[in-house]
Amino acid sequence: MNQSRDIPEPDLPAFPPEFLWGTATAAYQIEGAAREDGRGPSIWDTYCRKPGAVLHGDTGDIACDHYHRMEEDLDLLAGLGVGGYRFSIAWPRVIPQGRGAVNQRGLDFYRRLVDGLLARGIAPMVTLYHWDLPQPLQDQGGWQERDCAMWFADYASVVFDALADRVPYWITLNEPIGASFYAYAGSHAPGLRLGGGAIAAAHHLLLGHGEAVAALRALGRAAGRIGITLNFGPTSPATQEPGDIAAAARADALATRWFSDAVLDGAYPKLLTDFYEPICDFTFVRDGDMARISTPLDFLGVNYYKSWVARACELPPPGERRATDLGAVTEPPPGAELTGFGWAVCPDGFRDTLLWLREKYPGLPPLYVTENGCCYEDYVDPTGRVRDAERISFLQRYLRAAAAAIEAGVDLRGYFCWSLLDNFEWTAGYSKRFGLVWVDYPTGERLPKDSYHWYRRVIAAQTLRCER
């Protein structure tokens, strides 16, 4: 069957010659093999077993079975023609207890993955922490404990020792907001409901980030570049009512600036530290912490999925308040086109976020879009194809927005589409398909969607243009 005839031609301006085209995944979402070769349990293994926590009671036990199908997935990446691949390392696979004994079989898996990428001319971009804390560390308090920062730095050093000579891009943390504010609001593992404890956990995550940056830097220049991946969900007021304006300002500060201000400016946004006073005394911030956290980075990873509008709502009393209770309810901007997740499609918001980052932070390092993508109600049609025209249209518009930001002077160096494969979408289980490649979960079979072929053409056309 000739698929190329009815897949639209990419219509994009030229990107810079060195632009890194890639896709992204994360360990718990794709690997499976949850109890193999010495892997220990993570907080997500535990959380998935909590009744009602994850849709259909889905777990990452098997996921996409990437652990056993790694070669096939590497070939899919090579077929796509990407120059980079972002994946994460599962801490519990490398150090099953979280601290102490290293599991060589776990490290060997990632060595094979890195070598397989390099053999295909693909640059590995490695995330050290994509939310899968070893359960034994959670049992000792997890990220609420300051010691967790050092446990993370020790784990990072083990990984650096094994791979730093071969990995050009390191990411300490993926979206720390998910592992702290959301995790301690009850909607992500470990699913505890805390107030100020979530803010302490966020601080300790950032401290761990700072320590890991220092550990890599101690290895010298040859050890690759290091950054952090933050997500940005710009939020504007739903109306011009003063209450809605104030609510949106708080929601926006958390969704766009809590982490980036800390990492790039060395301070948390005052608007929120004042607001959090009734639930948090900030005594966990010690002298020197903010300097450690704001160690200059080689790059910033940007995840962008959606923008919001917010309106005011009532706040629970301080004793019952979580750190995500900002007296604001958020919703998609009115009239916005929505993805299969109900997230607003707003490529302009994406472009504006990239421009805003450049304006706001004078010392901003180069940017990589480390995640952007969408899920829709994809299905395999009777001819055996996944005709995901919406995803193609989505990517086309977001890539144009990225090009516009570059044109306006943003130092954007690469774009990693989320995701290579359909995978375990956290509390939504397997119900949300974000992949360029369809995964048939009962058999594990892979089927490139139309968007895979489209993205391959994007990359090929850009590469050809640069070679001319």
Of 376 and 426, nearer to ligand FCB (C-beta) is 426
Given the residues 31, 36, 72, 175, the one annotated as active site? 175
- Tell how strand 225-232 and strand 169-174 pair up: parallel
Min CB(446)–ligand FCB separation in Å: 19
Residues 102-161 that bind ligand FCB (CB under 6 A): none
List 59, 103, 174, 294, residue binding ligand FCB (CB under 6 A): 174
Min CB(27)–ligand FCB separation in Å: 10
Q: Which residues contact 393 (CB under 8 A, 6 or more apart)?
A: none
Q: 359 is written with which tokens?
A: 């304006």
User: x/- binding map, residues 342-381, to ligand FCB, per CB under 6 A?
Assistant: -----------------------------x----------
User: x/- binding map, residues 300-339, to ligand FCB, per CB under 6 A?
Assistant: ---x------------------------------------
Reply yes or no on whether 371 is catalytic: yes
Give the whole-angstrom CA distance, residue 458 versus residue 148.
42
Size of the site for ligand FCB (CB under 6 A): 11
Q: What are phi and psi of 67, to 5 degrees?
A: -55, -35
**What is the side-by-side strand order in the sheet with 328-331?**
235-237, 308-312, 328-331
Stretch that binds ligand FCB, among 158-166, 190-198, 266-274, 418-426 (CB under 6 A): 418-426
418 part of the interface to ligand FCB, by CB under 6 A: yes
List 184, 276, 299, 434, residue binding ligand FCB (CB under 6 A): 434
Given the residues 31, 211, 371, 425, the one annotated as active site? 371
DSSP β-bridge partners for residue 412: 367
Size of the chain, expressed as the number of residues it contains: 468
Q: Which residues of 193-207 are buried (b: 16+ CB within 10 A; e: fewer)?
A: ebbbbbbbbbbbbbb
Residue ranges of the alpha helices (H) in 294-435? 347-360, 389-407
223 part of the interface to ligand FCB, by CB under 6 A: no
Cβ count within 10 A of residue 9: 10
Min CB(175)–ligand FCB separation in Å: 5
Reply yes or no on whether 175 is catalytic: yes
List 65, 175, 244, 422, residue binding ligand FCB (CB under 6 A): 175
426 part of the interface to ligand FCB, by CB under 6 A: yes
Q: Which amino acid is at 236?
A: S
> In which residue are the tokens 């994360």 written?
26
Q: 354 is written with which tokens?
A: 């990239």
Of 34 and 215, nearer to ligand FCB (C-beta) is 34
Residue 283, classified by CB atoms within 10 Å of its CB into exposed (0-12), middle (13-18) or buried (19+), is exposed
Min CB(399)–ligand FCB separation in Å: 18
Give the whole-angstrom CA distance, residue 323 versus residue 253.
12
Q: 27 is written with which tokens?
A: 């360990």
Q: What are phi and psi of 180, to 5 degrees?
A: -130, -80
List 235, 425, 435, 451, residue binding ligand FCB (CB under 6 A): 425
Could you give the residue numbers annotated as active site? 175, 371
Q: Give the interface with ligand FCB as residue ranges (CB under 6 A).
A: 26, 29, 174-175, 231, 303, 371, 418, 425-426, 434
